[in-house]
Amino acid sequence: MQSENRTVITEFILLGLTQSRDIQLLVFVLILIFYFIILPGNFLIVFTIRSDPGLTAPLYFFLGNLAFLDASYSFIVAPRMLVDFLSEKKVISYRGCITQLFFLHFLGGGEGLLLVVMAFDRYIAICRPLHYSTVMNPRACYAMLLALWLGGFVHSIIQVVLILRLPFCGPNQLDNFFCDVPQVIKLACTDTFVVELLMVFNSGLMTLLCFLGLLTSYAVILCRIRGSSSEGKNKAVSTCSTHIIVMFLMFGPGIFIYTRPFRAFPADKVVSLFHTVIFPLLNPVIYTLRNQEVKTSMKKLFNKHIALKKGKIKE
């Protein structure tokens, strides 16, 4: 029994995004440009929020954490994928695969819960404004932040534990450009029906319930602000519409991948590419472009930097 449960495979071969060298080169260039333009923007958002005393409201506190989470998330898949584009043989060790899978779901689960917290913040701010400062005090914000990190960890560790219990004795080819639950489970040398159900329940059901809960909460918020003043109404609608866009970007691909039986579809790799590389980098930027306060703070920071440079040149 012990030999049957022992993991024999020590590495996995990644088949990659596509077998066409021309498409690989095109995707490599596009992602490299995108990566090095948008990623610094995410860190700029974090720096701006941290350095501006005027951006201390819970909304900006959570936005800064979203930018940090998404920037961290983008380091899990994109760098290795870019390296693999230039390699003939794309190999990842068993431990490296499990590590990648853990951090993918740890940060992804944390981000999903962060969007729920941000929706709760907007609900209190718009529907219960008199209680906002009491409910969303600094201690409560840090408690929510700790809870979402803990929730992401629990969600991810369940995935890892279930996979570590599976025997892998061959084949070892993963039909993807990174390690994720659907592809890894299919390589197990045993019946995985029960494990797949548990995975769908852990990832798929959680993703779907969070999405439906968020959709309902924003519908309630938008209904409540219909009778507000013109200025307050426009600002609230703008904020909520931004949150809804990011919500669809975050949960749409997740629902497509994890809420169905783990069977391969032609669109899986494209959806995974956007889910793991493109959307995480875009989310904070979308928030920032529609937030006048953050944009104003960034301009002040930029002008201050230019002024300091001019002062040094004159000296």
What is the DSSP track for the chain?
-HHHHS----EEEE--S-S-HHHHHHHHHHHHHHHHHHHHHHHHHHHHHHH-TT--SHHHHHHHHHHHHHHHHHHHHHHHHHHHHT-SS-EEEHHHHHHHHHHHHHHHHHHHHHHHHHHHHHHHHHH-GGGHHHHT-HHHHHHHHHHHHHHHHHHHHHHHHHHHTS---S--EESSSS--HHHHHTT-SS--HHHHHHHIIIIIIHHHHHHHHHHHHHHHHHHHGGGS-HHHHHHHHHHHHHHHHHHHHHHHHHHHHHSS-S---TTHHHHHHIIIIIHHHHHHHHHHHT-HHHHHHHHHHHHHHHHHHHHHHH-
Residue 300: inside a domain, yes or no? Answer: no
Q: Report pLDDT digits (tens) over 149-165.
A: 999 999 999 999 999 99
Residue 268, pLDDT > 70, answer yes
Residue 39: inside a domain, yes or no? Answer: yes
Among the residue ranges 103-107, 184-188, 263-267, the one predicted with the least confidence is 263-267
Predicted local confidence at residue 163, as pLDDT? 92
Residue 222: inside a domain, yes or no? Answer: yes
Among the residue ranges 76-90, 221-235, 270-284, the one predicted with the least confidence is 221-235
Residue 304: inside a domain, yes or no? Answer: no
Kindly report the CATH number assigned to the domain that includes residue 61: 1.20.1070.10
Q: Report pLDDT digits (tens) over 190-213.
A: 888 888 888 888 888 889 988 998
Total domains, the chain: 1
- The boundaries of the domain holding residue 37 are 11-290
Predicted local confidence at residue 1, as pLDDT? 41
Residue 301: inside a domain, yes or no? Answer: no
To the question of pTM greater than 0.75 for the whole model, the response is: yes
Residue 5: inside a domain, yes or no? Answer: no
Residue 314: inside a domain, yes or no? Answer: no
Residue 312: inside a domain, yes or no? Answer: no
Please state, for a pLDDT cut of 90, what percent of the chain lies above it: 23
